[in-house]
Amino acid sequence: EVTIGVLALQGAFIEHVSHLQKAVATAKAGSKIASAQISVVTVRTVEQLSSVDALVLPGGESTSISLIAERTGLLEPLRDFVRVQRKPVWGTCAGLILLSDQASKAKKGGQNLIGGLHVLCQRNHFGRQTESFSCNLALPFTNPYDVDDLFPAVFIRAPIIEQLLDDSTARLGALKIEDNSEESLVVSAPRLEADKDDATAVEIICQLPDSTGTEAGDIVAVRQGHIFGTSFHPELTPDVRLHAWWLEECALPFVL
Ligand code: GLN
């Protein structure tokens, strides 16, 4: 019996629940998904969080999600879930921002991060002109020789991963807590005692093509062991392959 939670404080959580349920219902015979007894639940309280084996953090507005998490007493338990218990998590868009060790943006103002993922992400990277767009991406499960097999991704005021922080940079960054003022453009998650024995490397899973269309450009998906993050919304198109891939490759291996 495996319980997958979707953080349901704000944002596109209902779509994640239905995508996960569909990924479970359509699992390939012989897969880990098919052989596990999986239920999908929403998480709004500390008690619900403690009952799940893995968690999806949806897109929405990271500032709001962070504020609600703080007010409902979920922020520290979420940090514990991700960084001390190291349970599998997947952040999409705003969820990716919250999981980052550092986040930057164009305007001043602080925001509390959960942290754990050793990256600096940049909020609202695509600016006003192209706040929202969709494009087809190559992901680990897509056939590189078949353009029709690419994954349709929706970007809505999306962040990108601006920089991978090595472990020591991440720790230094996390120590610069005095930066978390109304005057700062970069916010950092506070350092936790458990961080000192976390040396898992960040792996790039997907980059957009650059403006010339030939080279790899902005980083839009990364994985660091039990933490997976995507800039885009995979739950707003009918395709459930990324949810199935995450369950099979990122969540269940840590749970079963
Ligand atoms: N721009 C939002 C933020 O900074 C994220 C947008 C999204 O999740 N679609 O939190």
Query: Is the model more confident about 117 or about 213?
Result: 117
Residues in CB range of 20: below 8 A, 6 or more apart? 4, 6, 38, 40, 56, 243, 247
> pTM of the predicted model, to two decimals?
0.92
Element (H, E) at 242: helix 241-245
Cα Rg, the chain, nearest whole Å: 17
* Res. 173 pLDDT band, cuts 50 70 90: low
Domain encompassing residue 169: 2-255
Which of the listed residues 93, 107, 121, 187 should we mutate to test ligand 1's pocket, taking the one with most ligand atoms within 8 A of CB? 93
- Tell me which residue has its CA closest to atom 1 in ligand 1: 157
Query: Is the CB of 10 inside a 6 Å radius of any atom of ligand 1?
Result: no
Any idea what the Cα angle at residue 209 is, between residues 18 and 136, rounded to 5°? 30
Question: For a pLDDT cut of 90, what percent of the chain falls above it?
Answer: 73
> How many structural domains comprise the chain?
1
pLDDT in tens, 39-93: 999 999 999 999 999 999 999 999 999 999 999 999 999 999 999 999 999 999 9
Burial of 18 (0-12, 13-18, 19+ CB in 10 A): middle
Q: Which CATH number fits the domain that encloses residue 52?
A: 3.40.50.880
Query: Is the CB of 62 inside a 6 Å radius of any atom of ligand 1?
Result: yes
pLDDT in tens, 190-227: 888 888 777 788 999 999 977 766 777 899 999 999 99
Tokens, residue 60: 């929405």
ipTM, 2 dp: 0.95
- Tell me the catalytic residues: 93, 233, 235
Q: Which whole-number Å values give the CA distances from 119 to 102, 134, 182, 207, 256, in the listed order?
A: 6, 24, 21, 15, 28
3-class DSSP state of 80: helix
Which of the listed residues 10, 56, 61, 233 should we mutate to test ligand 1's pocket, taking the one with most ligand atoms within 8 A of CB? 61
Query: Is the CB of 156 inside a 6 Å radius of any atom of ligand 1?
Result: yes
Q: What is residue 197's predicted lDDT score, i.e. its pLDDT?
A: 75
Residues in CB range of 227: below 8 A, 6 or more apart? 82, 88, 89, 90, 91, 99, 116, 117
